[in-house]
Amino acid sequence: MTIISPSLLACDFLNIERELSVLEKVPNLWLHLDIMDGHFVPNTTFGHPIISKISQKTKQPLDAHFMVTNPEFYIDTLKAISFETFTIHVETQTNSVELLTKIKNISKNAGISLRPSTELSALSDDILKTCDLVLVMSVEPGFGGQSFMPTSINRIKELVERRNDLGANFLIEVDGGVNQSNCHDIINAGADVLVAGSAVFKGNSTDYLNNIKSLRKSN
């Protein structure tokens, strides 16, 4: 079953404990944390203290997406947190294979992400063989509530092909503008995990669980 990863960026932050409790018992659910440093992307969200507090208030798997210039600092300083995924961007001036290998020591899955404008060829065979997850950005990272870029569908299909060719087994996660109208095409293209902020917390219904259920409908 497709994993849904609600992006907490769109939740009611002043009542985050209540928001987390609503999602606590949902199966096949991750919690997507968008960490933005105001440098890799213009926006700033939250960092260590909030990540730590969230981890104490939920048993759901934490799906962390680091939109930061210096991912190594976060790898080195967040060892105490138990992550399901720890995803960094290929555009940072770092050795991705080295960092992904390092991430495997602190997180169940090591993820690599790329901006919509970055060619898929930036993900070398070595990167794809090392990572456990590729996070395809379907909007320009930095803000929630943007529209899904349809060109992402072909990128997902290409990644499925490369995964087959390489005999690799990374998961494909899609992030940005995912909603109840496009989830069918995204899942059919080969996505294993859907991130959804607005479609869960500000969607058609105020019932988050219903919004999540309708994102899975096409299974």
Which range, of 21-29, 121-129, 156-164, 189-197, touches ligand DX5 by CB under 6 A?
189-197
Can 165 be counted among the known catalytic residues? no
Pick the binder of ligand DX5 from 25, 79, 98, 145 (CB under 6 A).
Answer: 145
User: Minimum distance between the CB of residue 4 and ligand DX5, rounded to whole angstroms?
Assistant: 11
In the bound complex, which residue of the shown chain has the CB atom lying closest to Zn ion?
Answer: 65
Sheet of 31-36: strands edge to edge?
A: 3-6, 193-196, 171-175, 133-137, 107-114, 83-89, 62-67, 31-36
Spell out a b/e string for 199-218, using b for 16 or more CB atoms within 10 Å of the CB, else e. bbbebeeeebeebbebbeee
Q: Which residue in the set 23, 175, 189, 215 belongs to the binding site for Zn ion (CB under 5 A)?
A: 175
CB 118 within 8 A of CB 140: no
Answer yes or no: are the C-beta atoms of 186 and 194 closer than 8 Å.
Answer: yes
Q: 133 phi and psi, to 5 degrees? A: -155, 140
The item of Zn ion, ligand DX5, none sharing an interface with residue 176, based on CB under 5 to 8 Å by kind, is: ligand DX5
Catalytic annotation on 207?
no
Q: Between residue 16 and residue 35, which ones bind Zn ion under the rule CB under 5 A?
A: 34
Residues lying near ligand DX5 in the complex (CB under 6 A): 7, 9-10, 32, 34, 65, 139, 141-142, 144-146, 175-178, 195-199
